[in-house]
Structure 1
Amino acid sequence: MYNFDQEPERRHLVDEAGLNSFLSKIYGYMALAVFVSALSAYLTMTVFASQMMSLMVHHPWTMWLLLLIPIVLTFAINFQTTRNPVASFILLMITAIVYGVTFAFIAGTYTGQDIASAFVASATVFVVMAILGTVTKKDLSRWGSYASAALIGLIVAMLINMFLKSSAANYIFSFIAVIIFTVLTAWDA
């Protein structure tokens, strides 16, 4: 057994090849989850559209269930990650399907061009910031705490704006959210 107390300077060594392999694997899982969500959304709005609309009309609480299930699944994934990676992967795919179904109903109010533009823009920002956060030599640890604090402030402001109903504030909050999540993506990577 190696005693790190004998050589404290070795504690900070990182196996870069192993880290890059791990990050590639994680990003691959996330890409698969996004694909599964997109496929679920597509199938929900095309092949199963009449069944899903009928379900929503006859059981309006179903939308609340679709919004709450991912929260429960996220906690289950966090609990299962180290105990059972296969179960975590299955829960991730179930979460992706539920998000796909949920987003299908939200996306039903927008055109295909709007959705494609939003997807391409957000995917591009995510990929660029993930790469930047992975390869940069700069310490981004402080950025994460600032962005997390800003995210909490944004959520509070958005909750207040639910009562004020200011479209101008919603527009400004959209830009702020993009900046916050861009910083959080770079920090997290």
Structure 2
Amino acid sequence: MANYQSVRSTAPEALGARIDAGLRTHMNKVYGTMSVGMLITALAAWAIAGLAVTGDMSSAALTAEGQAMMIRQGEFLTGFGALLYTSPLRWVVMFAPLAFIFFGWGALMSRGSAAMVQVGFFIFAGAIGLSMSSIFLVYTDYSIVQTFIVTAIAFASLSLFGYTTKRNLSGMGTFLMMGVIGLIVAMVINIFLQSPAMMFAISAIGVLVFAGLTAFYTQDIKNTYVAHAAQGDQEWLDKAAFDGALSLYISFLNMFQFLLMFMGSQE
């Protein structure tokens, strides 16, 4: 794929200026779409968790022994919360976004219009919010906000590095994607082992892997735009912006979740 530096240095001045202006617009669209997706995820997670937790024991779900399902002191699961978090439905909520990424997104990108891809991304963001709502039942609101701010600062720094560096990060991207596969396998294994040491190692490696992917994806989005801008296929470029937003969105959320395992407080 074309490298931004080589294309920019060999392009005529007028074409180079047009590429620079188009790239800024493209990146603004990527970050703007990602930000809206993050807002949808946060609102969905907060709304679902808010419905699932209450201080009123009269609406709390009961165990088989007739005891209210308490999450922490003064907070209880409602019937909806029990259905979502303690029934087999939790597996559907957990794996539905993953299934969409592996089986739905590629088809949407190849056959759908730019508007359809955008809607698909926002629906995915809402589904992620549903699956992430349980963090409000595990961690305090303060620690969630604190971790989010730290993640946002780290993400902005890493994305800026990926955008400005002249180093080719494509080789690093291949290595990091292998790391993601290793993380998924390790996390599945640890579902059965329940090893705190293994979970700590997964969290530490996960932060590093998705930090690297943030820089890689940013550079890849930039180079992808440059490689196709001259062709004038605006429909494809619009879809590419949403695809780039999805990549950065996933990197951000994974960094956030792995950091939350270190920084999150449960009391």
The TM-score bracket by the shorter chain reads 0.7 to 0.9
The match for 1:19 is 23
Q: 1: distance between equivalents of 2:119 and 2:182?
A: 34
Give the match for residue 143 of structure 1.
172
The equivalent of 2:223 in structure 1 is none
Q: Choose from 85, 88, 92 the match for 2:114.
A: 85
Q: Which residue of 1 aligns with 2:96?
A: 69
Matched, 1:113 2:113: no
Match for residue 131 of structure 2 among 102, 114, 125: 102
Asked if 1 retains the 8 angstrom alpha-carbon contact of 2:159 and 2:214, the reply is yes
Percent of pairs identical after alignment?
Answer: 28
* Letter aligned with residue 183 of structure 2: L
Q: Which runs of 5+ in 2 are unaligned?
A: 1-5, 9-18, 60-76, 219-267
In 1, are the aligned partners of 2:51 and 2:81 still within 8 Å (CA)?
no
Is the 8 Å Cα contact of residues 41 and 100 (structure 1) preserved in structure 2?
yes
Matched, 1:156 2:150: no
Equivalent pairs, count: 178
What displacement does 1:43 show? 1.6
Change in CA separation of 1:161 and 1:39 when aligned onto 2, cut-off 3 Å: closer
Please report how far the alpha carbon of residue 56 of structure 1 lies from its aligned counterpart in structure 2 after TM superposition: 4.5
In the superposition, the TM-score normalised over structure 2's length comes to 0.59
Label 1:65 to 1:164 Cα distance change in 2 as closer, same or farther (>3 A): closer
- 3-state DSSP class of the match of 1:137? coil
Structure 1 residue 89 displacement after superposition: 1.4
* Uncovered stretches (5+) of structure 1, i.e. residues with no partner: 1-11
Which residue pairs with 1:7 in the alignment? none
Deviation at 1:156, TM superposition (A): 2.9
Q: Establish whether residue 43 from structure 1 lines up as the match of residue 47 from structure 2.
A: yes
In the alignment, residue 131 of structure 1 is paired with which amino acid?
Answer: L
| One-letter code aligned to 1:21 | T
After superposition, the C-alpha distances for 1:106-144 in whole angstroms (9 at most, x for unaligned) are 331110112112211222222211111011111111111
Moved more, 41-50 or 121-130: 41-50
